[in-house]
Every structure is written in C-alpha cells, then in structure tokens.
Structure 1
Amino acid sequence: MTTQSSPETRADQPVLTVPEGPRHARIHGVGGYRPERVVTNEEVCTWIDSSDEWITQRSGIKERRFAREDETVIDMAEAAARDAIAMAGITPDQISVILMATVTHPYQTPAAAPLLAIRLGTNGPAAFDISAACAGYCYGISLANDMVRAGSAEYVLVVGVEKLSDFTDKHDRGTAFIFGDGAGAAVVGPSDFPGIGPTIWGSDGDNWDKIMQKESWTGLRGDMTDPAGGAVEWPNFAMQGQSVFRWAVYSIAPIVDKALAAAGLTAAQLDAFIPHQANMRITDAMIKHIGLPENVPVARDIAETGNTSAASVPLATARMLNEGEAPHGGLALQFGFGAGLVYAAQVVVLP
C-alpha cells in the first residue's frame, strides 16, 4: 500500500504566508435610515378588520414607515451606510467587505451588496448578501468581527435593510400591521480592546414554516412588471404568530444568558439592551427573563417602526445613540431572531 506524507512531515513543503490580523475588533460607527411615509394603525385598519387598540395590545406597534414605491433596499442601505461611515471617520475606499443582511432584495442575483458598493464609490470590496432574516445583522457583526481579527479585512460594512412593504399582504389580518421598512448599518474595524463579544447563534430548521414566504418567485421576471406595464403581485410573508411568540419567549430566551456569560458579564453591567423589534411583549418577557435592572435602557422602536427584520437592531442602535438614550462606549447586548428559524446574540461596545 502506498502512503503519502502529510504536509506537517514533509521537509520540502512550502509554508503558506497568511495575513496576521489585529487581536480585537469593534464597531466604529453606526447609521440608520427611516423612510418618510408614516403609516398609522388607523390607516392599516382601512385594509383589515381591526383597531388601533387591538394592534397595540398584541404587538406594541402604533405606526410604521413605508418606503416610496420607487425607493429600493439599495437606496435605503446607502443612506444608512453613509452615516455609519461618517461616524467611523473612514472613507468608502477603506472598506474591504460589504455584508448586506436582507430578505427583500427582489433578485436572487446579482446580490444587493455589490450594487451598494458601486453607490458608495468603494474600491471593489468583497460584497455579498446574508439571508438570515431578523438575525441577519447580528450574523453579519459576527462575521465582520472574525474577518477583521483574522486579517482578511480591514473595515467591514454591515448593513441590515428591508423593504417589507413590498412583501406584505395588506389584507392578511395576522401580518398586515406588523412589518415596516428601513435600514441600519455599522462599520466594524480593528481595535486595541475587545469590542465584540462571542456570538451565540444557531438555527431551528424544524420550525422553518413558522415564518415563510407564501409563494415562490416562479413566473416573476425582469423588473417585476408584466408585459403590459402593470405591477406583478409579489410573494407575501406568512407567520404563525402564537408559535413564534412561544418559540421566542420559551425556547430561545436563554440565548441572552449564554451571550452574557460568554462575554463575562451580568445583566446589571449592561448599558443597553437592543433586541430585535418583533413584538413588545416578547421584549418584556426577555427583560424579565434576564432580570434586567430598570435603569438599563431598552430599545422599543417597534412602536414607531414596526418589525423591520434585519434592519431593526442597527436602526434602534443608531437612534439610541443619536438621542442619547444609550451611551457612546457603553456595553450593549444585541439579539436577533426570526425566520429560519435562526438567532444570534452578542455583547458589543457601542461606538
């Protein structure tokens, strides 16, 4: 029998040269974008048989933002990204990688990230989309942290953006009031101190049907219009609300405990809690679960933005910093969870 020597035992084996990255990474800047149009519960109730009181009690949502018909995920992502880049104090050509977390870019290819790279005037960075729905931004922060620390990127732009109004069935009483549009972004780069804690993430594919696209893309072509120039009906999202609520409150709430433990912190040491803006009652249940002190600010943007999926965590982060609700340089626990079903949590130092 012929045997081959492994690379470790071959004296003549060339040694690969690999980049050496910094020991740590952190978020240097964040930005957010909310479309101009405000859609109130009263307007939603012209589409479905409901009331402002019922919607508020069930979800905590009072209003949401809808993008213009001609406003794309790339338009919104660009606005958020430029704010994040400005806060980070870098130029677009310093960005090595763009990660775009979205499930509402209406094309499977090309991805949205390379198109954003062109808009921003970057110098041909690696660019790709992440399809992890509401956990997509937290997934992106974890990947960016690893890229910077490994030396494969200097600065990574992470964007969470959704135009969920295009994928919402306005006559579905169970989902018509939930979703909104928006974008949030962060720039991750080298640091001389730990700025991003270990990510606790995972998936529960057995429950894939709890949040899903009702129809496939079969038959949709080109610019999503029919030959006569009329709009094609886009696929809509469906959700089993009670099942998702139970999953979030009882099955994955312990993930926040693990993220805190992995970072070597307690809830009392946090300066902010920024969970995915899915439902106010889910947020309240998580606060109770981790025993969060009353003085720690909590993101409750869902009241004004609705559920913006991948955009919700960075959008809330940018607002809390801009309004002084959360301190610059403070410790924030961020947690994304949703369709897949997928989840990710990590503690970060706010820029």
Structure 2
Amino acid sequence: MSGSRVVAFGGYQPDKVVTNDDLAKIVDTTDEWIRSRVGIESRRIAADDETVADMATAAGGKALAASGLPPSGIDLVIVATCSPEVPLPNVAATVAHRLGIAAPGAYDLNAACAGFCYALGTASDAVRAGSARNVLVVGAEKMSSWMDWTDRSTCIIFADGAGAAVVGPAGDGEPSGIGPVVWGSAGDLAEKITVTGRNGAITQEGQAVFRWATTALHPVALEACARAGVTPADISAFIPHQANLRIIEAIARRLGIPRERLADDIVHAGNTSSASIPLALSRMAEQGRLQPGTPALLLGFGAGLSYAAQVITLP
C-alpha cells in the first residue's frame, strides 16, 4: 500500500457579508454579546439561488487548479455536507460533471461538522488501497437554509461556504502525508444538535455541546498525534472545526498549542460546518500562515455527535 498526501487546498465564500450589527436588527442581540460568547464578528451568507453544489464547485475548482492536475486525473469525488437542498441527486456527481471530471466515483458524506475529516480519512484510505489515484474532497454547506432567523442561539453562529482539498499518492519512498484518522461518536448526545422534520430548522443545546467539546475532544487530538508519530509541540498549525472561538481556544490550551498556531477563521466566516476546516486551511495558506512540509492537526466535531482528527503534512 502506498502512502497518501494532501496536494492542494481551495476555498469559496459567498459575497454577502452579515455583521453582528445586521443581526441585532432582527433578533435580541448585540455585537458585544456575540463576540463575547462565540467570537464571531461577521459571516458570509449565500444568495437565495446559490446552492451547495455551486459553492462546492467553486472551491473544488480552486483546489483542482492549485494541484496542477487535469480533471481527468481525478477518479473519486467526495462531498461532505449536511445541508443539501435535496437528498437526490447527490452533490458530488454534479460537482464532478461541472468540473469536467468524467465518470469518477462520486458520493456525499454526512458527518455534519466532522464531515471533512471523515471524508479526508476515507479519501486517504482509497488512495492507499489503490481504489483511487487522486481524490477531490469538498466540504460545502448552506446552513442559512436550515436556520430559524428568529433564534439568536443559532442564527448568530452558522454561515455558508465551501472548502476543498485534492488528495493523491505520496512520492516513492516518502512517508504518508495523511496520518491515521481517529474517529468516533457519542450517539447518546445526538439530540443536542438536531433538525426536526423535512422543513425544520437547526436547534442545539449550546451549553451541553460546549461542555462536551471542551472536555472530550482533546484526548482525540492527542491520539491522532500519537498515531502520526508527533507531539502537539511538533504541530505547526492547529485547524479545528470553527464551532466557537471559546471552544477552540480551550482545546488549544489543553493541547499546549500556542494561540498563533490556531486557525481562527470563525471570526469572519462563522461556523460553516463541514466546510470550516478546509476553508480555514485555504485562508491560512493565502495569509502565509502555513509552513509547507510541516505537520498540521485537524479536528472535526459536531452533530451526531461525531468527531474525527488526523495529522497531515502541509503541501
């Protein structure tokens, strides 16, 4: 079995910016209240006619271009999403067609906010096992379609966007650039984040999720480091799911990872569920905050409750 590696990233955000002051006009909240509780200053919301597939295609196209591969070089497309407009057809096949990727394997994966890490793990395994040569992995969400805009506990948090990565084989004699995924779930807490019915809105028990995330997840991250043969001190960038700034700062402190190595895309992107990790990676790359060839730690977690973590070598 050959190793696998991340080749390139790509990200996409809708044009519309919604600030905390904008939200204060429709719900009982303030800019200070939102910043102090979740750390968000603004977020992006998709246009009414902009779909999950539209955003996934934009992010996937950027990752494909950055990889230097032609569309024919991709033979598997995975889209992680929990917010598609309809369950059929799947988003992945549509994205592949729009990008000119002919007849790839294509499927959607729903592990909510942990979805990108789940998809990255399965893409890595497919490359290592020889089931695929190169895989396009996309996390894309239109969370605004599933929100109650009068519920200040959710409408201040969630947002829209997409992020993508191309996964390919490691070079001959090179170690794998994607470490073993450490994943799991806490189904006994599944009702803490839900959507009820076909036309329901997302609801969550914020304090319960906060307690779980800040106490249960740092051991998962530590195990991912151990399986990859590194320690938190070796990690050049920590990219957790951008759930809440207080949550991710608390996890980073428990791991002993300095604040300057922590992705904080949530401040201006909000919580974009499965899109948040690849979107944050893409933004950090644009800002020059990533060090190629060094290990980065990814940690996804959210509804399910599902979680997953792995260490990657940055391209």
Shorter-chain TM-score tier: over 0.9
Letter in structure 2 aligned against 1:255: V
Deviation at 1:253, TM superposition (A): 2.2
The equivalent of 1:101 in structure 2 is 80
Deviation at 1:99, TM superposition (A): 0.5
Letter in structure 2 aligned against 1:350: L
1:342 aligns with 2:306: yes
Q: Tell me the SS of whatever aligns to 1:161.
A: strand
Q: Tell me the SS of whatever aligns to 1:254.
A: helix
2:194 corresponds, among 212, 217, 221, to 212
The equivalent of 2:214 in structure 1 is 249
The equivalent of 2:234 in structure 1 is 269
The equivalent of 1:150 in structure 2 is 129
The equivalent of 2:292 in structure 1 is 328
Contact 2:51 2:85 in 1 (8 A): no
Contact 2:52 2:85 in 1 (8 A): no
What pairs up with 1:123-272 in 2 under 5 angstroms? 123-192=102-171, 193=174, 194-213=176-195, 215-217=196-198, 234-272=199-237
The equivalent of 2:267 in structure 1 is 303
After TM superposition, what 4+ stretches of structure 1 lie above 4 angstroms from structure 2? none
Query: Structure 1 length normalisation: TM-score?
Result: 0.87
CA distance in 1, matches of 2:30, 2:165: 36
CA distance in 2, matches of 1:303, 1:333: 20
Letter in structure 1 aligned against 2:222: D
CA distance in 1, matches of 2:141, 2:200: 15
Count of aligned pairs: 312
CA distance in 2, matches of 1:255, 1:67: 33
Deviation at 1:329, TM superposition (A): 2.4
Letter in structure 2 aligned against 1:27: V
Contact 1:321 1:328 in 2 (8 A): no
Percent identity over paired residues: 49
CA distance in 2, matches of 1:201, 1:261: 14
CA distance in 2, matches of 1:58, 1:346: 28
CA distance in 1, matches of 2:132, 2:290: 28
Deviation at 1:106, TM superposition (A): 1.6
Query: How big is the alpha-carbon RMSD for the aligned residues of Structure 1 and Structure 2?
Result: 1.0
Unaligned runs of 5+ in 1: 1-20, 218-233
Max Rg structure: 1
CA distance in 2, matches of 1:293, 1:48: 35
The equivalent of 2:47 in structure 1 is 68
- Name the stretch that deviates more: 187-196 or 58-67: 187-196
Deviation at 1:268, TM superposition (A): 1.2
Deviation at 1:293, TM superposition (A): 3.6
The equivalent of 1:227 in structure 2 is none
What pairs up with 1:40-79 in 2 under 5 angstroms? 40-79=19-58
Contact 2:10 2:279 in 1 (8 A): yes
CA shift digits 1:104-135 (9 cap, x unpaired): 11211111111111111111101000010000
The equivalent of 1:288 in structure 2 is 253
Query: Structure 2 length normalisation: TM-score?
Result: 0.97
CA shift digits 1:47-73 (9 cap, x unpaired): 210111011000000110001111111
The equivalent of 1:32 in structure 2 is 11
CA distance in 2, matches of 1:168, 1:198: 34
Q: Give the structure with the larger helix fraction.
A: 2
Letter in structure 2 aligned against 1:118: H
- Name the stretch that deviates more: 305-314 or 40-49: 40-49
